[in-house]
Chain A
Amino acid sequence: MRKKTVMQSFKLLIIIIVILVALVGLPAYFWTKSHVTKERVQNRSRLYPIILVPGSSATENRFDGLIDNLNTGNKKTSLLKITVKENNHLRISGKIFPRDTRPFIVIAFQNNHDGFRNIQKQAKWMALAMDYLTRKYQFNHFSGIGHSNGGLVYTLFLEKYLDQNKLLLDRLMTIGTPYNFAETNMNKQTSILQELISRKEKLPRSLAVYSIDGTTNYTTDGIVPSTSVSTGKYIFQNQVAQYTKITVTGKDSQHSDLPQNKEIIQLINEYILQTGVTGPDAANTPQ
């Protein structure tokens, strides 16, 4: 008799739970999803800059040609250039127009030499410049382009200095970045690659990375070996939301010509510039 009562109560409870799931659980689930997406959009700052970091030996003017090529329409986008000096002071030129939401910002370094130690220093200087920029312009998300060793500086900055609770990098495009320096054997890991792999868990989970590899022949762009660019997969693959490697060949695919390469300009237009304020998040992130 008692067992029967328990079973009856249990059955009734199950029916009620099913009804509650249908009438409450599902609408609540869909509301939460749409509410959080809306909140994410509202939380983003209107200013959504593209921050470019040149490679070794290059100055703040490295991307002038690229930006001229991107500024083909009637509306010119702003360009702000920062050079971080060795004494940690910033030299700033250019400006961000008041209503421009997608300005270009170039961060270059007075000490722009090659080498593991210098790149580490440059990542630290980049953090200094970023701190200045976020405080002055109050933005909380940005996109990035790094050419050559600029891509290494970017990756080191992301792993060591980016405060993900305050700042979001949604897309990063590295152009001809030698993740394994000049080493052609993928099985031999140089110090920079080892460091980047050891800290890869610190990379933003929602980041989309596009690694562009230019080749004048089957193995190199004249300076950076194709295999070195490919080792980026050991850093980004299964770590960030999306990692795509693209190979560009033909005219202007020599290492120093890459930023002016028409294919690459088209890729920047498509993957970095032609994106909504929301970025790639909704599809890529689980929570």
Chain B
Amino acid sequence: MRENRLWSFLYKLQDKQQKWLWLRSCYFGLKTTGPLLLLGILLQGLTLSFFQPHGFFYVIYRLDRQVWVPQANFIIHSLSCIVFGMTLLLLCTAVAWYRARLFSKKETIPSMVIALFLLFLFNFHTKRMPSARLGQVILNGNIPFIEVLFLGLVSAYFYHGLNKFLHFKSLWSIAGATVSLGIVLRGFKHLFNVGFFASLSGPLFAEISSLLGDDQTQLGTIIVREVGRNLLVWLGFVSPEQILVAHTDSDLSRANLSAALIKNNLEGLPHPLNIYSLSDSFAVLGGYGQIMALLLLFILFSRYRKRRRNAWQNFLPVFLNLNSSFLVGVPVFFNVILLIPFLIVPTVSILLAAGAIKLNLIPPAVYQVPLNTPTILNAFMGTNGNWDALLFTLIVLLVSMLLYYPFFKVTETTLYRIQKGTE
């Protein structure tokens, strides 16, 4: 009975969410840019895994002997930067266009122009080095989604407000107001960057950052860190170019590695429970939020061909932990239904892994893995090819799929109801 209530609440919440216009605008933008983002992600995966020294395929296939690899790396990396830049431009303008269109068709073009202006102003940098150019716009894949979505929405609301409430009609007045808004927003960004707010509440930030630091051995803090990070990802504080890097260089991991190399085994290590052995090895399969589990559910059980196709398209990037294209395609950002498993599944995975390591069922991951190693292989390779660790990773993946399944069903049913409604 209580369960039914929970599910009906979730359905209601999902229905309610569909009516939020700002969210619909964001989802429209994300859906529009999805294919372009996927292209950028594939190019990024190629350069990170194949062409960069220490990349996963680079080391396992010994590509260091190929003379053409550095040139290929340069070309593919440049291409991926261009594609990411175009993706973010398109995303910002698409969000502004859709939201403005819901106000009035006439507001679409001005809102898009304002969005473009704000995006450029936000990412315009000046360099004081004499040899460098005076100013440049950097639009690569390092800008978080939330920033681009926010600017797109702000542009649409701003123009609508100018038009409807302040009755700004002339080009000059609108341009002046837009520049003023840009300066204000840029000022806020500057304040954040120089740490004005951080210094205001210094002790609080210090506490949080120490809790979320890399060198944590307490299970509780590792979980809080994972939940906190996934919450930020869910809120869009993740950029297309952001990659997962295993914490093999932290002090604890180094102490473990040194002990393992000296004693030639993985028993009785000084810090068996740490971020690398728990979070990096078992809680980020396919990237943040154990997204590989959701992707497999889409592939196997989605009743919609479009969803299955999207999941197949993202299979390789997600296998290589580059999941922002899939997060956009679902979409996971701001999705209240998927927030629950997005936070819970990695937590359960960490607890399972901690229990297995404590009970000596599996050894902790210690050895270094190449850059962008598929996280599904992290535990296996981090334990020098321990088959129990690989088997346990697959069990964790299966458990994650089971945990994701009810929430996946809710999203499927909601989609079915929406489609039926539109028919």
B303 touches A27 (CB 8 A): no
Question: Does B313 touch A at the CB level, under 8 Å?
Answer: no
Count class of interface residues, chain A: 35 or more
Cβ of B385 to closest chain A Cβ, rounded Å: 5
A33–B296 CA distance with the chains assembled, in angstroms: 30
Cβ of B135 to closest chain A Cβ, rounded Å: 44
- Which of A's residues lie within 8 Å of B, judged by CB? 2, 5-6, 9-10, 13, 16, 20, 24-25, 27-29, 31-33, 35-36, 39-40, 43, 140-141, 164-168, 204-206, 281, 284-287
A205 touches B265 (CB 8 A): yes
A182–B60 CA distance with the chains assembled, in angstroms: 57
Residues of B near A281 (CB, < 8 A) are: 264
Could you list 25 examples of A-B contacts with CB < 8 Å?
A: A10-B300, A24-B377, A27-B60, A28-B373, A28-B377, A28-B380, A31-B59, A33-B385, A39-B261, A39-B368, A43-B261, A141-B262, A164-B263, A165-B255, A165-B262, A165-B268, A165-B270, A168-B262, A168-B263, A206-B264, A285-B264, A286-B265, A287-B265, A287-B266, A287-B383
Cβ of A42 to closest chain B Cβ, rounded Å: 9
Given A2-B303, A6-B301, A164-B259: A35 and B264 interface contact (C-beta under 8 Å): no
Q: Which of A16, A28, A33 has the most CB of B within 10 A?
A: A28
Residues of A near B308 (CB, < 8 A) are: 5, 9
Q: Tell me the B262-311 residues at the A interface (CB within 8 Å).
A: 262-270, 296, 299-301, 303, 308
A10–B368 CA distance with the chains assembled, in angstroms: 33
Cβ of A12 to closest chain B Cβ, rounded Å: 8
A28–B374 CA distance with the chains assembled, in angstroms: 10
A43 touches B264 (CB 8 A): no
| A279 closest partner in B (C-beta) | B264
A24 touches B383 (CB 8 A): no
- Cβ 8 A contact of B300, one of A9, A35, A40, A285: A9
A28–B380 CA distance with the chains assembled, in angstroms: 9
Chain B interfacial residues counted at CB < 8 A: 40
B264 touches A29 (CB 8 A): no
Cβ of A210 to closest chain B Cβ, rounded Å: 18
Residues of A near B260 (CB, < 8 A) are: 287
Q: Which of B267, B270, B384 has the most CB of A within 10 A?
A: B384
B363 touches A287 (CB 8 A): yes
- Cβ 8 A contact of B319, one of A5, A20, A33, A285: A20
A204 touches B263 (CB 8 A): yes
- Over the window 40-60 of chain B, the binary record of Cβ atoms lying under 8 Å from chain A Cβ atoms (1 yes, 0 no) is 000000000000000010011
| A205 closest partner in B (C-beta) | B265
| A20 closest partner in B (C-beta) | B319
B264 touches A40 (CB 8 A): yes
B262 touches A166 (CB 8 A): yes
Residues of A near B268 (CB, < 8 A) are: 164-165
Residues of A near B252 (CB, < 8 A) are: none
Residues of B near A164 (CB, < 8 A) are: 259, 262-263, 268
**17 additional contacts (CB under 8 A) given A35-B59, A43-B261:** A9-B299, A9-B300, A28-B373, A29-B380, A29-B381, A32-B367, A32-B369, A32-B381, A35-B368, A164-B259, A164-B268, A165-B259, A165-B262, A205-B265, A285-B264, A286-B386, A287-B260
A20–B319 CA distance with the chains assembled, in angstroms: 10
B300 touches A205 (CB 8 A): no
- Cβ 8 A contact of A39, one of B60, B367, B369: B367
Residues of A near B270 (CB, < 8 A) are: 165
Residues of A near B315 (CB, < 8 A) are: 16
Cβ of A163 to closest chain B Cβ, rounded Å: 9
B384 touches A32 (CB 8 A): yes
A140 touches B262 (CB 8 A): yes
Residues of B near A32 (CB, < 8 A) are: 367, 369, 380-381, 384-385
- Over the window 363-403 of chain B, the binary record of Cβ atoms lying under 8 Å from chain A Cβ atoms (1 yes, 0 no) is 10001111001100100110111100000000000000000
